Structure 1
Amino acid sequence: MHMSRSLASLMLAGLVAGSAVAAPASLPAYGADPQQTSVSGLSSGAFMAVQLQVAYSRSFIGAGVVAGGPYYCAANNVFLAGICMGQVPFFPPNPVLMANAAKGFSRARWIDPLSNLSKRRIYVFSGTDDTIVRQPAVDATVSFFQQMGVKGDKLKYVNQVPAGHAVITPGYGNDCAANAAPYINHCNVGSEGYDQAGALLQHIYGALNPRVDTPTGQIVSFDQRAYAAVATGMADTAYLYVPRSCTASDAHCKVHVAIHGCVQSSESVGDQFYADTGYNNWADSNHILVLYPQVNKSAIPSNPQGCWDWWGYTGGNYANKSSLQMRAIVAMVNRLAQHR
């Protein structure tokens, strides 16, 4: 049967309109408090959290580093990645070298002044059964921040939990010692489940209201491509958790950026990282917007595992303020702080 050209045109227009409706929405503005932004991540997301905290130390008031190595550890050389992950016996990362690199970047004004870091609060975690980013690498991260002036109770290092390579929750995910997808494990410390999201958020922000069992806010998908060109390796779509209390135009909510690890974006694990790691439970009762940026494993051929760039696959400036990925994340955070 032949259809008329006008009917075909109408059907094509309908298809185009339907595609437009299905496309991710723009990231809304929420009037968030620009003085209350923090970041955390697992694995490559932890390396990225360190980079953001160091490069943009004016903007981020604290960081949670779960199984991540020190700043600029790979020095734009992927062949150093094994050392930076603690995989080379008797040859851990040298945090003095990383500290010297950061000082040079700061003098060149490629990153914010390092003096800001002495006022920041840093949570670091390394599971004793982590076989992917081993404890010598994470020890070097702690030493790096100490050299940057993060002292006393501002720096918290949790390194006695028999956990594998994972975000740790009180009851969701693999057994505690697992080193396997989706890289979310449940662990007990003493007689209670360990709530890592709560531990790091409270270290950064201080005492918070108790977590809710069931978040009542909304997970919003949005067009990440508006902030991150294809060359960044970042995905088309990212996610934001919005508590009900943050929908008012004058809510002035905090912002926490939660950064997934390798093979942990929604492409690989569905909604598990942005729905089941516990951040939203704390955000719901404490006026916190949680931003979940995304990198897909298929975006750049040199990044087959969907890792964040901590060795230079997006270019030699990956660890300073001209980093393509960090600029994209900061632009999204700035958008959240805008008023409607």
Structure 2
Amino acid sequence: MKALRTIVTAAFALAVLPHAAQAASALPAYAGDPTQTSVSGLSSGAFMAVQYQVAYSGSVVGAGIVAGGPYYCAAGNILNAQICMGQVPFVPPNPALMVAAATGFASLGQIDSLSNLERARIYVFSGTKDTVVYQQAVDTTVSFFKEAGVPAANVKYVNNVPAGHAFITPAFGNVCADNASPYISHCTVGKQMYDQAGALLQQIYGALTQPAQALTGSIVPFDQREFASAGTGMADTGYLYVPKSCDEGAACKVHVAFHGCKQSAAVVGDDYFAKTNYNQWADTNNILVLYPQVNASTVPFNPQGCWDWFGYTGTDYALKSGAQMKAVNAMVDRLLARP
């Protein structure tokens, strides 16, 4: 019955994708594997992925960070954003300050113990042509994770690809060096098209089965209002990729893919949740891919539709009690729950 419901819902949603919010229903439970949750993201989504990895380190096994800065870099002040994005020459973020902040939060029980990071696996990417989040900021992300306890052998840093500010796919999107919407590009590395979704998922999970040539699963829209009010900045509708194996009862991994600023479905349609190659890897490797959504808003003040990495939802934005953090965690818990 669940399989039939998913297929019918997904078929209708895909038929009317520009208005998919009309088809959104409750996020289903899939009895996912609670030991295999991971996150990734681009830009503000990368900052969010860092936050989520650090705050929920007891239940998150790894993160893929594409053009993102270190944990709690802005310290709740938008005036720090330029430093955190590496836009102030010769003034990079200070990773020791971020580790000290995280240590303090953990001591108060506001985030999980940093000792959990000893087993985390981290992928970090910074394009050499990125003019939005510069490499000196992303360098600090690598330093932060290592100083916070992630073994150096568990950190993969790719910082030699002439890419702009974008998520990299094998074929879809802009040319490699672009820093432009939809912030998805294609690049050649070593005479091969670079597959960022595959690179980060394999850094987190180890060797995986090669991606599907034709998808067997479905993209399912779901109602985010069950998890987050409009006051959090989150959109009405989120998206989930469900491989056929997961719909048929496999204990699947859960991966959360956070879009960047100006990159929600309201702006770029299905470009991020359907064309970044996550779903192809998920399809052959029993991975549910959650694509939560944040839209531009006036209240809260978030004109570019960014995830909250500087405090527009409240001072606890980087803690487990943060509005967006709690919402995404509740979505993950639903996917891990038994139907």
Alpha-carbon displacement from aligned partner over 1:291-337 (angstroms, at most 9, x marks no partner): 00000013635100000000000000000110100100000000001
* Counterpart secondary structure, 1:97: helix
Q: Which residue of 1 aligns with 2:70?
A: 70
**Given residue 40 of structure 1, which amino acid in structure 2 is its aligned partner?**
S
Contact 1:234 1:299 in 2 (8 A): no
Note the residue ranges of structure 2 that are not aligned, 5 or more in a row: 1-20
Q: How far does residue 23 in structure 1 lie from its aligned partner after superposition? A: 4.7
* Counterpart secondary structure, 1:40: strand
Contact 1:238 1:292 in 2 (8 A): yes
Note the residue ranges of structure 1 that are not aligned, 5 or more in a row: 1-20
1:294 is the counterpart of 2:280: no
* Counterpart secondary structure, 2:174: coil
**Given residue 234 of structure 1, which amino acid in structure 2 is its aligned partner?**
M
**Given residue 104 of structure 2, which amino acid in structure 1 is its aligned partner?**
G
Distance in 1, matches of 2:149 and 2:316, equals: 24
Counting only pairs closer than 5 Å after superposition, residues 38-187 of structure 1 correspond to structure 2 as 38-187=38-187
TM-score, normalised by the number of residues in structure 1 = 0.92
1:258 is the counterpart of 2:257: yes
Alpha-carbon displacement from aligned partner over 1:260-305 (angstroms, at most 9, x marks no partner): 0000000010000000001000000000000000000136351000
Contact 2:87 2:133 in 1 (8 A): yes
Distance in 1, matches of 2:308 and 2:79, equals: 14
| Structural RMSD (CA) | 1.2
Structure showing greater Rg? 1
Q: How far does residue 214 in structure 1 lie from its aligned partner after superposition? A: 2.4
Runs (4+) of structure 1 exceeding 6 A deviation are none
Distance in 2, matches of 1:284 and 1:23, equals: 23
Q: Which residue of 2 aligns with 1:336?
A: 335
Contact 2:127 2:163 in 1 (8 A): yes
**Given residue 311 of structure 2, which amino acid in structure 1 is its aligned partner?**
G
Q: Which residue of 2 aligns with 1:14?
A: none
Alpha-carbon displacement from aligned partner over 1:146-170 (angstroms, at most 9, x marks no partner): 1011123210000000000000011
**Given residue 297 of structure 2, which amino acid in structure 1 is its aligned partner?**
S
Q: How far does residue 213 in structure 1 lie from its aligned partner after superposition? A: 2.0
Contact 2:74 2:81 in 1 (8 A): yes
* Counterpart secondary structure, 1:74: coil
Contact 1:230 1:299 in 2 (8 A): no
Q: How many residues align?
A: 320
Percent identity over paired residues: 66
Contact 1:223 1:237 in 2 (8 A): yes
**Given residue 228 of structure 2, which amino acid in structure 1 is its aligned partner?**
A
Q: How far does residue 194 in structure 1 lie from its aligned partner after superposition? A: 0.4
Alpha-carbon displacement from aligned partner over 1:86-108 (angstroms, at most 9, x marks no partner): 00011111111111111111111
Distance in 2, matches of 1:316 and 1:229, equals: 17
Contact 1:122 1:154 in 2 (8 A): yes
